[in-house]
Structure 1
Amino acid sequence: MFESYAAIPLEEKIAQMLVVGFSGGEFNEELRRYAQDYKVGGFIFFDIAFGEKAPNITGPEQLKKLVSDINYASDILPFISIDQEGGFVARLNTRNGFPATPTHRALGTLDDANFGWEVGKLSTTLLGMGFNLNYAPVVDVLVNPDNPVLAPKERTFSEDVDRVVSAAALYIEAAASVGITSVLKHFPGHGSSQVDSHLGFTDITDTYQDYELVPFQTLINEGFQGAVMIAHVFNRHVDPTYPASLSSIFITDLLKNTLGFEGLVISDDLGMRALADHWTTEQILVKAINAGTHVLVYSNNLGDFYDVDYVRNAIAIIKRNVESGVIPLARIDEAYSMILRVKESMPQ
């Protein structure tokens, strides 16, 4: 199936699996290396500084030029990606010169026409800046009203499953109408959690409800084959050893084989402490890839310092494990093929 990829250097195929954060709001030497030397698959943008990392977004004209420069330097269309859910989680916001946007919770109360108009406006803004991948909508059902990662920022449409499904379908349709690929998150459902996975191990074994899977199953049944983000949540009833983001039981057996998802599988940020406090970088990369993940996201803004060598080291780690047989080459080729297929469907 992947014979045509044999001539492509392994390092380039691996690099296409990486979506990375970076420092600063101008096309600099770091970005040149990522785009030209390593040929990474994409970039994730943030509007605030993290330690040694300067913001990527300061205003519309600055951002438009930065994205244009990245695209010009890239041989393969990169994923230009962002968390633009709306409201509190909006990297493009009034502080940096962009229109205000409603939260998911507010969107969940609107009728279909006004919902579509709001998300259409949000998506048009993204497209105008050159984005092609948005980490939204959130299809978590708000099982726990005190959920620390979702509730305070109104990141869920509803505690009602049917409303989550209908709102997510509207969100996906409005985004697709202007050429933005949506990413459903956070599979298999983060709505019952009592811990923020940015900050620590997130065990949902005793709180998870089976109906949290319904939005994913329904939307896939209705034809959604875009992208799904995997959460760093642990449920020993499904996998007694690994959280969903490192688990072939969750990703391959449940999402792909049982639910029938045939689209792009994206990790949540691999630097989150739910993983980083318990596994090494090598273990995380190997397990995520072998579990069935296509795109590995690393924002590089969650630790105590900015790791300028992360991309080089990640490629080397993955390459070494492919050459030793720990990661089958077929997994890399399958991911590379999927990534190219999705990119070919995006506005060029």
Structure 2
Amino acid sequence: MSISAAIYGLSGPKLTTVEKAFFRDADPWGFILFARNIDGPKQLTRLTGSLRDALGRDVPILIDQEGGRVARLKPPTWRKAPPAQLFGDLFEREPEAAIAAVRLNHRLLAHELRGVGVDVDCAPVLDLRIPGADDIIGDRSFGETPDIVALLGQAAMDGLMAGGVAPVIKHIPGHGRADADSHLALPRVTEEHGLLSETDFAAFRKLNTAVMAMTAHIVYADIDPENPATTSPDVVGNVIRGEIGFDGFLMTDDLSMKALSGTFRQRGEASIRAGCDVLLHCNGDRDEMRQVAEAAPRLDGKALERAHLAETAREAIEDFDPETGESELNELLELARR
């Protein structure tokens, strides 16, 4: 089997005939879902099943289900999970309670996701919350210091993996200091490399054994003044793989974001050349996806080994009573609200 180093989105709540033919031919490593793909639990379960049937294997299916304002599964059908900042605030007063609450919350997220066939969550966010930066991170961050972010990030990963959902840490090597939303423009971080290593990069370094990570579309001017991290051999090779020591499966952030320039084939080729393992394209536009498919190599060598390790993180599911878990979580969150 020759799997392509790509992850694709799709256009709507049902896999179309044209999409099915394209995906069979492209054979991507995985798929990613958004609100446009979700009508309800039964529909979503059918959709995830149809994606796996189309490729004839247990293909990973990703989603961004952080809680707070980044949640594709929404109330009233699904639980309203809190933003990361709430847990960080609790940590300042009750550290052990905060760690337990994060693990429980993410164990519940895993239960909810696996219930509809989703087995990779693009969470937790390990970016620091930096005063004065663009609000694209904001309350999605656990806190302003690497130690707190790493402790709560580890608890989040533990909770997800206990429920058979593989986590994706993001946005490596650090998005919190960005001066713009990379969905809309290319952010530039001008602080010195030494400061970034002590702050923004530190939480990722502490959790460098994570199975997957997503890059930041950000220029770190003191490291590579021209290229965002996703397409920078200096950032990927020297910082992410070297200084941070991350050796897991490295995916790009969405190639269709406005922080990047060039054709979609050029974006994909530059990302692979920089050292990313897999290309992420989210919006379901087939013309763009065809260009990404032209850039995406077949997974082999070290990238294939990393992909296999990421897939194994979906396998071990601990016994869990979601009603008891939610009750315990609510008790812990009461401490945060007092």
Amino acid at match of 1:342: A
1:46 paired to 2:34: yes
Equivalence for 1:52: none
Counterparts in 2 of 1:318 and 1:178: CA distance versus 1, 3 Å:
closer
Equivalence for 1:132: 119
Structure 1 residue 308: deviation in Å? 2.0
Equivalence for 2:289: 311
Q: Tell me which of 162, 176, 179 is aligned to 1:194.
A: 179
Give matches, 1:50-61, under 5 Å: 55-61=36-42
For residues 210 and 124 of structure 2, the distance between their equivalents in structure 1, rounded to whole angstroms, comes to 14
Amino acid at match of 1:108: G
Give matches, 1:4-83, under 5 Å: 12-13=2-3, 15=4, 17-47=5-35, 55-83=36-64
Give matches, 1:262-341, under 5 Å: 262-276=247-261, 279-300=262-283, 307-318=285-296, 333-341=301-309
Q: Tell me which of 130, 135, 150 is aligned to 2:137.
A: 150
Aligned residues: 306
Equivalence for 2:144: 159
Deviation string, structure 1 residues 252-300 (Cα, Å, up to 9, x no partner): 2221133322210010011111103xx3323211110011111111112
Across the aligned residues of Structure 1 and Structure 2, the Cα RMSD in angstroms comes to 2.1
Give matches, 1:167-178, under 5 Å: 167-178=152-163
Query: Taking every aligned residue pair, what percent have the same amino acid on both sides?
Result: 29
**Contact preservation (8 Å) 2:173, 2:215:** yes
1:109 paired to 2:89: yes
Deviation string, structure 1 residues 9-49 (Cα, Å, up to 9, x no partner): xxx44x2x1111111112321331244222122111111xx
Deviation string, structure 1 residues 30-86 (Cα, Å, up to 9, x no partner): 331244222122111111xxxxxxx10011111011111111222332220000000
TM-score, length basis structure 2: 0.84
Counterparts in 2 of 1:76 and 1:249: CA distance versus 1, 3 Å:
farther
Amino acid at match of 2:270: K
**Contact preservation (8 Å) 2:62, 2:118:** yes
Deviation string, structure 1 residues 105-127 (Cα, Å, up to 9, x no partner): 11223422222222211111111
**Contact preservation (8 Å) 1:158, 1:164:** yes
Structure 1 unaligned spans of 5+: 1-7, 48-54, 301-305, 320-328
**Contact preservation (8 Å) 1:93, 1:101:** no
Secondary structure (helix, strand or coil) at the match of 1:71 reads helix
For residues 210 and 196 of structure 2, the distance between their equivalents in structure 1, rounded to whole angstroms, comes to 24
For residues 267 and 15 of structure 2, the distance between their equivalents in structure 1, rounded to whole angstroms, comes to 29
TM-score, length basis structure 1: 0.82
Counterparts in 2 of 1:58 and 1:256: CA distance versus 1, 3 Å:
same
For residues 250 and 146 of structure 1, the distance between their equivalents in structure 2, rounded to whole angstroms, comes to 21
Secondary structure (helix, strand or coil) at the match of 2:82 reads coil
Equivalence for 1:3: none
Structure 1 residue 312: deviation in Å? 2.7
Amino acid at match of 1:168: G
Structure 1 residue 337: deviation in Å? 3.8
